[in-house]
Chains A and B, each alone.
Chain A
């Protein structure tokens, strides 16, 4: 039986614009709106949990840099807001690809995380890696400079996609606790609202760096949590799927029987905190599914034991990638799962991954997917 809530709104960022996909609770028929900001890279669009009509979008281009957009009507109309991201104080240096010091330079906003309680408060993860926030609906942005100032910043280095702060997790039980992740530095946690931070990467092993168990330097691709258990974190690392049961103080590998433990996305079922989803990618140089088969893997045991979900997904000649911000889950009674590909498809499952169907097939390369459950 269909959920009594009205439906879902899927927010898709692509290489050449944003798209808004809407459906009722059955999630069978879809309306497609867009492209919004056609021609611009839309790294991320996300709605406020406190006001679903309030959306924020990161719009950028190689020509004209970073623009920020805000909507107050669920994406029907947009207005540009502040785009001035200036690092606090003297920016300092991080490691460049060749190991030499390189000055921090703002390039773009990768990820937006609206406050759980205030529509006008939103966090922005940027490249070169830093965390900014706005408390006036995006009009002005201030760096939470304690992250870069805690000491390890000069040892951070860019991953292949740039040195990006790509994940921001807000603890629903403690507004002062925030987790962020940076490629390639690792995961960091604050317990005081962003004033001070500590790296939380114990248990990560990365043979690609000189000291595989170093405090920082790990290429974490994504972390995820379930709202009901903010001490339990899941991670898709450059290689390895990891889990922490102590708020990031320690991590253990849960890759188990995955065909490859490389990948970008990871997410958690809306109602089952031990059910998690990944999309294995063949390798760090071969950014496509193994054997040309697009398979979402689901674990109902919080890792280690994984099952392939293939119904409705291409099982031959599929060589797309699924980027780190391109998976999301809705919170309807039957949990919906969504992901987008670099081939421009957005797939949806209305039954937690058992069956899949494309919502759209031919968008520009998908950079991000978010979903809002509308009531």
Chain B
């Protein structure tokens, strides 16, 4: 089980409270987590990644285990603690961007 924490604006948009919990078969990567997240919450489509390029939006950051994973490959494995559900995958609105 993967735990995803969304920023407040996206929790409102997706109409979820607290963490989103996802089951992912196969490798746990940014891409697989975001694919599963968008499948669970279709209104998040386009808000984290560009529809065409699939690039992370510039003012969206991905943190986990006190690391900034934003510039990691979307297909790189996420930390074991995220894959095991011990630590959440954090979607963060950058300090800039408002």
Contact = CB atoms under 8 A, between A and B. Distances in A.
A39 interface: yes
A84 B60 contact: no
A195 interface: no
A157 interface: no
A63 B70 CA distance: 14
A85 B45 CA distance: 11
Given A80-B43, A84-B45, A84-B46, A63 B52 contact: no
Nearest to A79: B43
B44 to A, nearest CB: 9
B9 A40 contact: yes
**Which residue, A65, A67, A85, has most C-beta atoms of chain B within 10 A?**
A65
Interface string A275-315: 00000000000000000000000000000000000000000
A64 B45 contact: no
B43 A63 contact: no
B94 interface: yes
Contacts of B48: 64
A89 interface: no
A313 B75 CA distance: 58
A70 B96 CA distance: 29
Given A63-B98, A64-B57, A83 B9 contact: no
B57 A65 contact: yes
Interface in A56-74: 61-67
Contact of B13 (A62, A80, A84, A85): A80
A86 interface: yes
A84 B51 contact: yes
A67 B94 contact: no
B9 A61 contact: yes
B10 interface: yes
B14 to A, nearest CB: 9
Interface in A67-106: 67, 80, 83-86
Contacts of B60: 63-64
Interface string B1-24: 000000101100100000000000
Contacts of A64: 9-10, 13, 47-48, 57, 60, 93
A67 B59 contact: no
Interface string B35-51: 00000000101111011
Contact of B51 (A39, A40, A86): A86
Contact of B45 (A40, A61, A83): A83
Interface string A3-46: 00000000000000000000000000000000000011000000
Interface string A147-159: 0000000000000
B97 interface: yes
Contacts of A40: 9
Contact of A67 (B13, B50, B93): B13
Given A67-B47, A86-B52, A62 B97 contact: yes
A39 B52 CA distance: 26
Nearest to B43: A80
Nearest to A80: B43
Q: Which of A40, A62, A63, A67 has the most CB of B within 10 A?
A: A63
B52 A66 contact: no
Nearest to B15: A80
Contacts of B7: 63
B93 A63 contact: yes
Nearest to B93: A63
Interface in B41-94: 43, 45-48, 50-52, 57, 59-60, 93-94
Given A40-B9, A84-B51, A62 B59 contact: yes
Given A63-B97, A65-B46, A67-B43, 6 more contacts: A61-B98, A63-B7, A63-B60, A64-B47, A67-B46, A83-B47
5 contacts: A62-B59, A62-B97, A63-B98, A67-B47, A83-B45
In the A-B complex, the 4 residue pairs with the closest CB atoms = A64-B47, A63-B93, A62-B97, A80-B43
Interface of B: 7, 9-10, 13, 43, 45-48, 50-52, 57, 59-60, 93-94, 96-98
